[in-house]
Amino acid sequence: MGVVDIAREAGVSTATVSRVLNGAESVTGATREHVLEVVARLGYTPNAFAASLRKGRNDAIGIAVASISQPWHVKLIRELRRAIREQGFTTIVYDLEHSESVLIEHTESARRLRLAGMVLATGDRIDGDEVRAALDRMAGTVPLVVIGQELPGAGWTTVAFDDVAASEQAILELLGRRPKPVLFLGEAASSYLSEERRIGVERALSQFPDLLAGSELVALDAGMDFSVGYREVQARAGALARFGTIFCVNDELALGACRALSELGVRVPEDMMVIGYGDVDMLPYLTPSLSSLSGDVGGVAERVVRALLARIEGGHVDVGPKLQRKIVHRESTGG
Amino acid sequence: MGVVDIAREAGVSTATVSRVLNGAESVTGATREHVLEVVARLGYTPNAFAASLRKGRNDAIGIAVASISQPWHVKLIRELRRAIREQGFTTIVYDLEHSESVLIEHTESARRLRLAGMVLATGDRIDGDEVRAALDRMAGTVPLVVIGQELPGAGWTTVAFDDVAASEQAILELLGRRPKPVLFLGEAASSYLSEERRIGVERALSQFPDLLAGSELVALDAGMDFSVGYREVQARAGALARFGTIFCVNDELALGACRALSELGVRVPEDMMVIGYGDVDMLPYLTPSLSSLSGDVGGVAERVVRALLARIEGGHVDVGPKLQRKIVHRESTGG
DNA sequence: CTGAAAGCGCTTACAG
DNA sequence: CTGAAAGCGCTTACAG
């Protein structure tokens, strides 16, 4: 069943049916009522493919995140959807599952679907040859905004937090509370995000050479969930006394670390301070409650959408300086 | 740029281009190579709308979940995607945000997109007049499988856990460990899932009238996240001594409850046992680690896909009896 | 193995 | 305000 069936039944042309269904102002009230009645009676739903094909555009914007298992990304999706919907677009969520090949697949899908735009949020590096080529290719036809990492000469807009500064600032503040070496748990080279945060930590520590010497900056290769934080701390059971702080690149690692400390009888924060990144919703409800570096997700979403709209209209927009994070102290850093 | 441009450049017909791009076997090796070279050189990507319109079908299956903020649903999405992809379909995720109007919108979207099928996973009731009508309407053209709740006379297949039995069984087991009244934290009438679990709890308690009398079965109206579990336990600070167990309809509530108990100086599990539902990944890493009623998500996904394929092919399939849950004891119930 | 041509179901300039 | 007709970009029976 299509417009022609509705048109025939209603005794009008397909043009009129289309106008009614698309809310054109020109249609007479009576005609509109009649057509709508027929549509309802016959249970007709327009074919989105035919409409998009004819219109030559799609009103959907893709949101691709590194992993929907990470609460921070879910929070971001929520905010982005809200902001995007306000602009009259629909959204479609892609889960990259931290995989380059999945990302590449999705760039293809975005091209085939002629998406109006795409938002990419990942801490995983996107500067590998294949990934970079796929993104460039996509960005040629689908306006793109990337959250989190800046690439030289990229044909897209970047919105990011200043994680180097945030990490440096946080470490300085924690060293003020307890001037002891730091155990940093981050990801290996595949993570852009970990790299930035590590640099900030190093920068702060380098002001205190003896503390830097005693610190350990771990580059994990095993993902960043609870179990990894747990395992890494357990693995250092005998060597924990020399550290004053465990600084984790996300909240999940911090949670796992706390569990290990608890099993080892290391008190948080008396013997060891612990802090994560992202400030996800559950942190205040943990025991001990977890400190974290918090960022304004709504602010990110707002900037992303502004930048995307500008690109969709063929223009550019200055998204301003990198966003600042702030440290949220809870029990795990002494409140 | 379209097939015609590729055809012209390659000196073949559009039919041949289409065949090459769709992997038809009939095309000569040389022709295939040549066409692919032109496609790559011109950076051509087929238009998905045109293809779907012409084919008259869409190979995408929708996955609609009550909320992507709930880890259990994220786990389910993962498993479903894997299973669906194996069958050659793509997936598209819908977040219902626990909203009836969003669900109704998505049923419309599914119809317009001529989805090959739809999976709906929600604990929120779907038997309200409007929602039920929207689902019936959708199920008329889009094969549907619902996870979790059974509706009489529905035109779709249901895959569910036996939560009544699981709850009853769990309570009996916990009463064996500590024969004291139970504080049950569940949602109000809008939640089908809470209702089932409450019934199981009541069924177990009714074998011990004095324990039933001392128990409290709370029907919350405020969602089911960490903060709610926390608040409800705090609100009963003076009355906790009479309970032996806090039984929560999800793990998030249980986590919040534990935090409140910790602040109140109530020891878990010595003074109070706590258990949740879903067995999400973080539970072993909490302090205390949280017990939970676990279900085989992979098993659900496998049945759902089997049922969906049968419906897509116009048939039916017996998905078998409801799935069983098992209780996973961790520190919060005494290990 | 390959091509010419029809047609999927819409929307929109154009004409009245 | 409304209609006749073209055309969006594919795929596929049909013919050779």
Read off the pLDDT of residues B67-110 as tens digits, 9 standing for 90 and up. 999 989 999 999 999 999 999 999 999 999 999 999 999 999 99
Structural contact between residues B118 and B142, judged by C-beta atoms closer than 8 angstroms: yes
What was the pLDDT predicted at A26?
Answer: 82
Nearest nt to the CA of B2 via C1' is D9
Given 1.20.210.10, 1.10.287.540, 1.20.200.10, 1.10.260.40, which CATH number is that of A3-46?
1.10.260.40
Mutant choice from A45, A90, A266 vs B, greatest count of B C-beta within 10 A: A45
Could you tell me which chain A residue has the CA closest to the CA of B136?
Answer: A43
Question: Which protein residues have a C-beta closer than 7 A to any atom of strand D?
Answer: A 11-16, 19, 25-28, 31, 50, 53-54, 56; B 1-4, 14-15, 17-19, 21-22, 44, 46-47, 50-51, 53-55
Query: What would the pLDDT profile of A39-65 be if each residue is shown by its tens digit?
Result: 999 999 999 999 999 999 899 999 999
What was the pLDDT predicted at B327?
Answer: 97
DSSP H helical segments within chain B, as ranges? 3-10, 14-21, 29-42, 48-55, 71-86, 100-112, 129-139, 163-177, 192-205, 209-214, 226-235, 251-264, 297-312
Question: Is the Cβ pair A49, B52 closer than 8 Å?
Answer: yes
Rounded distance in angstroms from the CA atom of residue A7 to the C1' atom of nucleotide C16: 20
Domain ranges in chain A are: 3-46, 59-161+297-324, 163-294
Could you say which of B45, B68, B113 has the minimum Cβ distance to residue A68? B68
Is residue B222 classed exposed, middle or buried when 0-12, 13-18 and 19+ CB atoms within 10 A define those classes?
exposed
Residue B4 has pLDDT above 90, yes or no: yes
- Encoded tokens for A61: 């914007």
CA distance B160 to B148: 4
Question: Is the Cβ pair A49, B68 closer than 8 Å?
Answer: no
Nearest nt to the CA of B25 via C1' is C1
Query: What would the pLDDT profile of A221-230 be if each residue is shown by its tens digit?
Result: 877 889 999 9
Q: List beta partners, residue A64.
A: A94, A120
What was the pLDDT predicted at A137?
Answer: 94
Q: Which of B18-27, B107-116, B201-210 has the lowest mean pLDDT?
A: B18-27
B1 CB and strand C closer than 7 A: no
Give Dmax (Cα) for chain B. 87
Structural contact between residues B120 and B307, judged by C-beta atoms closer than 8 angstroms: no
Structural contact between residues B10 and B34, judged by C-beta atoms closer than 8 angstroms: yes
CATH code for the domain defined by A163-294: 3.40.50.2300
DSSP H helical segments within chain A, as ranges? 3-10, 14-21, 29-42, 48-55, 71-86, 100-112, 129-139, 163-177, 192-205, 209-214, 226-235, 251-264, 297-312
CA distance A318 to A306: 9
What was the pLDDT predicted at A231?
Answer: 97
User: What distance lies between CA A115 and its chain's CA centroid?
Assistant: 19
Could you say which of B53, B74, B140 has the minimum Cβ distance to residue A50? B53
DSSP classification of residue A324 = P
Residue at B334: amino acid letter: G
CA distance A129 to B246: 53
Question: Is the Cβ pair A286, B49 closer than 8 Å?
Answer: no
Question: Is the Cβ pair A281, B114 closer than 8 Å?
Answer: no
CA distance B203 to B167: 9
What was the pLDDT predicted at A125?
Answer: 93
Question: Is the Cβ pair A49, B47 closer than 8 Å?
Answer: no
Give Dmax (Cα) for chain A. 87
CA distance B220 to B232: 9
Average pLDDT estimate for A124-145 = 95
Average pLDDT estimate for B8-32 = 91
User: What distance lies between CA B266 and its chain's CA centroid?
Assistant: 33
Pseudo-torsion of CA B200, B201, B207, B213, nearest 10°? -140
Q: What is the pLDDT confidence band of residue A27, given thresholds at 50, 70 and 90? A: confident
Structural contact between residues B272 and B248, judged by C-beta atoms closer than 8 angstroms: no
Question: Is the Cβ pair A71, B69 closer than 8 Å?
Answer: yes
Q: What is the pLDDT confidence band of residue A283, given thresholds at 50, 70 and 90? A: very high
What was the pLDDT predicted at A299?
Answer: 95
CA distance A271 to A265: 10
Q: What is the pLDDT confidence band of residue B29, given thresholds at 50, 70 and 90? A: confident
Question: Is the Cβ pair A281, B226 closer than 8 Å?
Answer: yes
Rounded distance in angstroms from the CA atom of residue B33 to the C1' atom of nucleotide C2: 15
Same CATH fold, A163-294 and A3-46?
Answer: no
Helices B14-21/B3-10 angle, 10° precision: 110
Pairing type for strands A60-65 and A117-121 reads: parallel
Rounded distance in angstroms from the CA atom of residue A300 to the C1' atom of nucleotide D10: 39
What was the pLDDT predicted at A57?
Answer: 87
Nearest nt to the CA of A44 via C1' is C9
Residue B268 has pLDDT above 90, yes or no: yes
> Number of A:B CB contacts under 8 A?
121
Q: What is the pLDDT confidence band of residue B174, given thresholds at 50, 70 and 90? A: very high
Rounded distance in angstroms from the CA atom of residue A264 to the C1' atom of nucleotide C15: 84
Residue B153 has pLDDT above 90, yes or no: no
Homologous superfamily (CATH) for A59-161+297-324: Response regulator (3.40.50.2300)
Query: What would the pLDDT profile of A170-223 be if each residue is shown by its tens digit?
Result: 999 999 999 999 999 998 878 999 999 999 999 999 999 999 999 999 998 877
Mutant choice from B22, B82, B137, B286 vs A, greatest count of A C-beta within 10 A: B286
Half-sphere exposure of B59 (CA within 13 A, CB side): 13
Question: Is the Cβ pair A46, B112 closer than 8 Å?
Answer: yes
- Encoded tokens for B233: 């336990």
Residue B189 has pLDDT above 80, yes or no: no
Residue A25 has pLDDT above 90, yes or no: no
Proportion of chain A in helix, strand, coil states, percent, rounded to 5: 50, 15, 35
DSSP classification of residue B323 = B
Cα dihedral across residues A109, A111, A115, A117: positive or negative: positive
Mutant choice from B137, B285, B286, B330 vs A, greatest count of A C-beta within 10 A: B285
Query: What would the pLDDT profile of A61-120 be if each residue is shown by its tens digit?
Result: 999 999 999 989 999 999 999 999 999 999 999 999 999 999 999 999 999 999 999 999
Chain B positions touching A282 (Cβ under 8 A) are 226, 252, 255
Residue A332 has pLDDT above 80, yes or no: yes
Could you say which of B75, B93, B286 has the minimum Cβ distance to residue A259? B286
What was the pLDDT predicted at B152?
Answer: 85
- Encoded tokens for A103: 């990302």
Q: Order the strands of the A157-159 sheet from edge to edge.
A: A90-95, A60-65, A117-121, A144-147, A157-159
CA distance A32 to A20: 6
Q: Round the CA-based radius of gyration of chain B to a whole number and report it.
A: 25
What was the pLDDT predicted at B26?
Answer: 82
Is residue A29 classed exposed, middle or buried when 0-12, 13-18 and 19+ CB atoms within 10 A define those classes?
exposed
Question: Is the Cβ pair A258, B53 closer than 8 Å?
Answer: no
Q: What is the pLDDT confidence band of residue A302, given thresholds at 50, 70 and 90? A: very high
Residue at B242: amino acid letter: R
What was the pLDDT predicted at B205?
Answer: 97
Structural contact between residues A8 and B72, judged by C-beta atoms closer than 8 angstroms: no
Q: What is the pLDDT confidence band of residue B230, given thresholds at 50, 70 and 90? A: very high
Half-sphere exposure of B9 (CA within 13 A, CB side): 18
CA distance A26 to A52: 22
Chain B positions touching A225 (Cβ under 8 A) are 281
Rounded distance in angstroms from the CA atom of residue B21 to the C1' atom of nucleotide C9: 24
What was the pLDDT predicted at B118?
Answer: 97
Average pLDDT estimate for A261-290 = 97
Q: List beta partners, residue B169.
A: none
Chain B positions touching A49 (Cβ under 8 A) are 48-50, 52-53, 58, 113-114
Rounded distance in angstroms from the CA atom of residue B149 to the C1' atom of nucleotide C8: 37
Average pLDDT estimate for A118-139 = 95
- Encoded tokens for A155: 């044909």
Q: Is the peptide bond before A269 cis (omega within 30 degrees of 0)?
A: yes
Q: Please give the mean pLDDT across all residues of chain B.
A: 94
Residue at B99: amino acid letter: S
Of B225 and B327, which is predicted with more confidence? B327
Could you say which of A45, A227, A255 has the minimum Cβ distance to residue B112? A45
Rounded distance in angstroms from the CA atom of residue B27 to the C1' atom of nucleotide D15: 17
Pairing type for strands A245-248 and A182-187 reads: parallel
Q: Please give the mean pLDDT across all residues of chain A.
A: 94
Chain A positions touching B140 (Cβ under 8 A) are 43
What was the pLDDT predicted at B319?
Answer: 86
